[in-house]
A = this chain, B = another copy of it.
């Protein structure tokens, strides 16, 4: 057994997307039980110049989707950022997970040296596949997953570390 690019990406994304989906259920239930307009939680930020909860989830999903597609050398599916409810965000995550799961080991293994180019605004970032996954995608993916969790915890949603890490 040796570590592969597929093992270091697809199951990692799926685990965390699954955890986020369960976290969204808890946030939705919290809003209902406390008669909080869900939009308050969806638009909550930890600082005025940080992104709101809804964007944290959208970006986490896009990082997983983009990484799976780019490492496999297929087109990145387009998901519009139109979510207005927790149910919408759950659907976004389900769609993302379905795509990520469609990427097989044979599609992605051996992509360590694949050239990956990202355009972020005016910046162009160039990576090899392994560097892209380990030093760009995973820290960013976990950053947005954690910040989504932290926003909900700050708002009082009853979550614990096990909700974040999931079943081991």
A-to-B contact residues, CB < 8 Å? 1-5, 7-8, 11-12, 15-16, 46-47, 50, 110, 112-113, 125, 127, 130-131, 134-136, 138-140, 142-143, 146-147, 149-150, 153-154, 156, 161, 164-165, 168
**Does B139 lie within 8 Å of A2, measured CB to CB?**
no
Given B8, B130, B142, which contacts A139 in the complex, CB threshold below 8 Å?
B142
Contact status A3-B112, CB under 8 Å: yes
Number of copies: 2
Among B2, B127, B142, B156, the residue within 8 A (CB) of A2 is: B2
Chain B residues within 8 Å of A7, by CB: 130, 134
Contact of A135 among B12, B127, B135 (CB under 8 A): B12
Q: List 29 A-B contacts (CB under 8 A).
A: A1-B113, A1-B130, A2-B2, A3-B3, A3-B5, A3-B8, A3-B112, A7-B130, A8-B134, A11-B134, A11-B135, A15-B139, A16-B139, A46-B150, A46-B154, A47-B153, A47-B156, A50-B153, A125-B168, A131-B168, A135-B168, A136-B165, A139-B165, A140-B165, A142-B146, A143-B146, A146-B146, A146-B150, A147-B150
Find the B residue at minimum CB distance from A144.
B146
Least distance between A156 CB and chain B CB atoms (Å): 7
Q: Which 5 A-B pairs give the minimum distances between C-beta atoms?
A: A142-B142, A146-B146, A46-B154, A150-B150, A47-B153
Residues of B within 8 A of A5 (CB): 3
